[in-house]
Amino acid sequence: MTPSFELWQRRSASDLFVPLFGVGLIVVAVAFWGRPLAVAGWGSGGVLVLGLGTWTFWREHKHPLLRLNQFGVTVNPGSRPGRGVGRVITWQDIEAVVCWKAGNGNNSYWVGVSASAAFRRQAGLDKSRLNKAFNESIGMPVMGTVVRWTGPEEELHRLRETAARVSPQTPFLDPHQQ
């Protein structure tokens, strides 16, 4: 059996900030109970923020962010198809599996692949100036084929090992260490 690997997003305490902020707005609305306009404004804002924050909290963790197997790599498999993500990028179209630290977060990384020019052209990933600017700042074409992931470093080691077993000719790179 060919090895496969799925990288799932992990919940953290910071994921609860938006729903708790919504609760705070509702508490402020209750404090202004005698003023209907304040209650309507703060309360409806609080309900909206609480609802969106809770929906995002649960939705973001229902599917893996990256799936790697003998066919290739699927970045954000539950996402919208046709945008370079949510479909398999075959090993022939992958120049490297990439991973680098995202900002100052303790366990936050950008993970994905650097896809070939042909795949990027076919998927329309190099059309926008923002994508091109991001790719130039990183030093390789990765926009649309990487996702931000938070989790333990041990999972990155498992990802590296699985990539080496499935496609030994494909390098595993950190663009900032080249």
Left, alpha or beta for 112 (phi > 0: left; psi -120 to 50: alpha)?
left
pLDDT digit string, tens, across residues 78-104: 555 444 456 788 999 999 999 888 876
Domain span including residue 142: 64-177
Give residue for tokens 């202004």: 32
Do residues 115 and 52 both lie within one domain?
A: no
pLDDT digit string, tens, across residues 30-45: 888 788 887 888 888 8
Cβ pair 109, 148 in contact under 8 A: yes
Count CB atoms within 10 A of the CB of residue 130.
Answer: 9
Residue 5 belongs to some domain of the structure: no
Kindly report the CATH number assigned to the domain that includes residue 157: 2.30.29
- List the single range of 46-50, 52-56, 95-99 with lowest mean pLDDT: 52-56
pTM exceeding the 0.75 threshold for the entire prediction: no
CA–CA–CA angle 8, 9, 10 (5° rounding): 115
